[in-house]
Amino acid sequence: MESFLIKGGVPLHGEVTISGAKNAALPILAATLLTDEPCVIRRVPDLSDTRFMVQILQSLGATAKFENGTVTVHAKKIRGYADYELVRKMRGSICIAGPLLARLQKARISLPGGCIIGARPINLHLKGFASLGVKTKIEGGYIDATVKKLIGNTMFLGGRAGPTVLGTANVMMAATLADGVTVIESAACEPEVVDLANFLNAMGAQISGAGSPTITITGVKKLHGAEHEVIPDRIEAATFLIAAGATNGEVTLRGARADHLRAVIDKLSEAGVSVERSGADLIARRKGKLKPVDITTLPYSGFPTDVQAQMMSLLVLANGISIITERIFESRFMHVSELARLGADIEIEGPSAIVKGGKPLSGAPVMASDLRASAALVIAGLAAKGATQVNRIYHLDRGYEQMDAKLRKLGARIQRVEEK
């Protein structure tokens, strides 16, 4: 098992190119199952999750090739049964259900896996499918779903923590080939949902309202092949912006979308990290001493839960008390105990973390518990004095393309080593 060995205390300087968004690429790759014609998806990040998705497409009978950031898929003939050993590894694999139901009127998929960051039930996916006429049962760790004919309907997909991103994507894909009109109320507004809708429309779907709480899908008889380029990864971009501030460096992000990062940029500015536009690029640099800020994670366009851990690593360096409240996932503070090993002073009170910042961090061995916690520990290690070893970085490899290589280009002293 591999880990990162980081010798911290070096400000990051230079340029980094932001990869395509994993959370956009996965449902877009799944959407290629909706047509029997070839599709070409560009700027797909080379990650373990995207590799798994390509393998899932192949296991369903599609021809799929991943080369130099481009995935070519031809799902001429497919089956409705997904391989258990592949699906169980990744929560995003659930998004093949919608395309399979639309194309084959049936799907048998094992319950998906992924990071352990709290309850992420699929009840809203099943609720949306039921509104389209789908009958489902869960038995033996599998979801069995069948439908005679998908019929458009109006549905509400809001949940306890807000809209469901993958649920919105799943139902939207299924509805593209349904009879009649489907209206999703309390739909997720994330840029990744918009990117999927743009790809589906390029395939011949009729979708309007993506990016708003109400999405309307008018079903069509058939979808055709299309080409598409995935949007930049806003979470990777946020991670590098925060790393620049935490190390008191200056980093230029190539290809990042400021319009997808407004909440993050606002909180970074409040904390003393400037993010400026320079043409199509973003430049992050520290403006004096870091300041404490309060943050509450919310559905888009609020502050993203996927950036909460990384922001905590920045705020432990700010003089004063910051309060971070997690409203999306109830178990997303597992990185706190590991940050404490580096010298952070953080207390958990219900859904909030009380960050008493300003104490210097010192290197230590730490253990990553999930994808974004991994990134937070890397940032903290970059800012700490001495050596930090981040173990279990297979979590990180699920969502960051060549993070260690990108950081080395910015001057970081980081290398991939075998865990001891």
Residues tagged active-site: 115
In DSSP notation, 191-258 reads HHHHHHHHHHHHTT-EEE-BTBSEEEEE--S-----EEEPPB-HHHHHHHHHHHHHTT-EEEEES--G
Cross-sheet strand order for the sheet of 181-185:
154-156, 181-185, 214-218, 206-208
Amino acid identity of 8?
Answer: G
CA-to-CA dists, residue 171 to 78, 143, 155, 188, 387, angstroms: 20, 15, 10, 11, 47
User: What would the two tokens of residue 98 be?
Assistant: 């919608």
In DSSP notation, 330-343 reads TTTTTTHHHHHHTT
Tokens 């969502």 correspond to what residue? Answer: 399
CA distance 356 to 344: 8
CA distance 239 to 204: 35
Q: In three state form, how does the secondary structure of 263-279 look?
A: HHHHHHHHHCEEEEEEC
Residue 11 CB neighbours (<10 A) = 18
Can you state the angle between helices 22-31 and 97-104, rounded to 10 degrees?
A: 10
Amino acid identity of 86?
Answer: L
CA distance 12 to 408: 9
CB 64 within 8 A of CB 72: yes
Q: Which residues on adjacent β-strands are paired with residue 14?
A: 251
Cis check for the bond before 301: say yes or no (omega within 30 of 0): yes
Tokens 């991103």 correspond to what residue? Answer: 165
Amino acid identity of 160?
Answer: R
